[in-house]
Structures are given as structure tokens and as C-alpha cells.
Amino acid sequence: MLHATQHADLPSGELDSALRGGPFHVALRAAIAARGLPLQRVQHHLSRHGVKVGVTSLSYWQQGARRPQRPESLRAVRALEEILQLPDESLIRLLAESEPHPASGRRAARSYRSLVEASAVVDRLRAELGRPADSGLHTLGHHECVRIGARRELAAREAHHIVRAHRDGVDGFLAVHRGDPGCAPRDMRVRALENCRTGRVRFDHDSGVLVAELLFGTRLRAGDTFLFRYAVEDGTARAAREYLRGFDVPGGQYALQVRFDAAALPVRCHRFTQHSPAAPRGGRQELPVTAPHHCVHVVEPRIRPGVVGIAWDWQR
């Protein structure tokens, strides 16, 4: 029987080579084979770690047909390192190193490595606050307004959520904000605007991630709907070039508006989508910056798992 507290010595032979050189799916397949575990047993051990992953997904992962990408999948990869008695970060590192590279001459988006790291940071900060991974809320509507300042920085964003509880006892929401490279989460401010108040706040300087409790002041019952608004004042990084939002599960409407200061207008803007953080970007559509409001927006009638964002170019 495998125990969570056991760790094997550094692997040797084929497994050692796979862990050093990758790719991820080859290392995972070698680790499972080295332990002599059928996928059903691997799934059982994952469930004991509180992570639900299907046998089909595990099979796809070790074949290279799919990659773990969602937060729940990344939690599974970390659990697999423990279950298969592998060195810490060995599989996560291979996932990050095998990220697709942008085409030559094109600006790189936030790397898959950084998204993996940010997801792990959010999990850690959530655990520190004692908040479950399942918020107990389903999104009916999510509207964001991002304000770009005169220094081209992400000055602030405001979020308006319409949610429905799918279990009893939900009393709040964990807001997550990730600043641009070089930001200072310590200097950011979270403001509760409507039907909530700010609770505990935690941040991680290296990843630029800030999480904040938004407390409703009431406990929702399953089926109850609730509306709340909050804002994050940022303005701590250099020039922003895009804003994106990732979704793990389907939901209701999502609207994103980016408003530019009149003293810092971009030369062009476009919307984009991604099926996952590691997938190539698609759905490109040019967005004219309208006067006199100097803003652009996108509306997704139904949220689907993946990424929606707006990117822009500055005059050099």
C-alpha cells in the first residue's frame, strides 16, 4: 500500500531519464509502469487525496493525447507526484517546460509555466484561508471593467457577479486578482462595493497573485441567487498589454470592458479566445477604440471552459 508520507529515492533507468528529459506524458507513463499500478488504482489513490479524475483522462495524459490544464487537473498532477513517489515538482516542471512557443516575431502571452505556478499559488492561499476549492456558487453573470491608466498600467478593475448557490451555507466568495509582471500585490487595495465586505486578504509577491475574501453577511441556501460588486485598485506594474479571464466550468454571461485613459490610447485592440491556457489563441477580432469613452468590450453569452481576453498594442 502507498502512503502519503512515503517518498522513493530518486528514480533510476528509464524513469529517471523520463523525469529529467520529459516530455510529461512519457514521464507519467514510466512512473505508473514503475509502480505497477493499473489506472483504476491510480484513480482510487487520487480520490483518497480529494481529487477526482477519470480513468479516461489519466489514459489520455499518459498517451500525450491531452494535457492537464485546469486547476483540478493540476492538483491531480501534484497528487500524482506523491502517489507515485516522485520528487516534488518533477511532473509539474515537465508540464511547464513543454509549453508551446509563440510564432517567431509575435509577442508571447503569459507562459503556461506562469499559469501553472499561479494556479498552485491560488490553491495555497485558499488553503491558508480555509476556503474550499468548490465555492458553492454557479455564475449566472460576470461583468468586469478594467481601467488602464495614463502610464499605460492596469490601474484598477471592477467586477460585478450574479451567482446562484448550489449548496447550503455559502457565506462568501474568494476574489482572485493577478497583476502584470513586476506588480506589487502588497500595495494593491480591495474595495467591497455592494452587498459584501472585505475579509482576509493574502498575496504572493513572486507570482503577483492576490486573493481576498468577500463576505456576504448572510448564508445562502441551495438555489438562492446573490449579486455583489467589488474592485481591486492595482496600478503597481508597468505597461499592460492584455487582460484575460480563465474559466474552469461553464456558466452564464461574461462581459469584459477595457477603458483607456485619454492620455494613453492604444494603436489597435483585438479580442481573443483559448480553449485552454496551453492552446494556441484563436477567435481574433479587431476592436475599434470608441470615442468619447475610449473603451472596447467583448460579450460572451455563455461561459465555456477556457480563456477570453482583450489585447492591445501601444505606439512605440
* Residue 105 pLDDT: 38
**How far apart are the C-alpha atoms of 212 and 175, rounded to whole Å?**
5
How far is 42 from 57, CA to CA, in rounded Å?
12
pLDDT at 60: 80
Which residue is associated with the grid cell 474559466?
Answer: 247
Dump pLDDT digits (tens) for 223-257.
999 999 999 999 999 999 999 998 878 889 999 99
C-alpha cell at 170: 455559502
Burial class (CB in 10 A: 0-12, 13-18, 19+), 82: middle
Using one digit for the tens of pLDDT, what is the confidence trace for 18-29? 887 778 888 898
Average pLDDT, the chain: 86
Rounded distance between C-alpha atoms, residue 126 and residue 128, angstroms: 5
Q: What angle do CA 35, 39, 41 make, to 5 degrees?
A: 75
Sheet strand arrangement including 189-194: 189-194, 225-233, 154-165, 137-148, 253-260, 295-300
Residue 132: per-residue pLDDT:
87
Reported as a single tens digit per residue, the pLDDT across 180-229 is 988 999 999 999 999 999 999 999 988 899 999 999 999 999 999 999 99
What is the C-alpha separation between 120 and 291, in angstroms, rounded?
Answer: 40
Residues 133-181 pLDDT 10s: 889 999 999 999 999 999 999 999 999 999 999 999 999 999 999 999 8
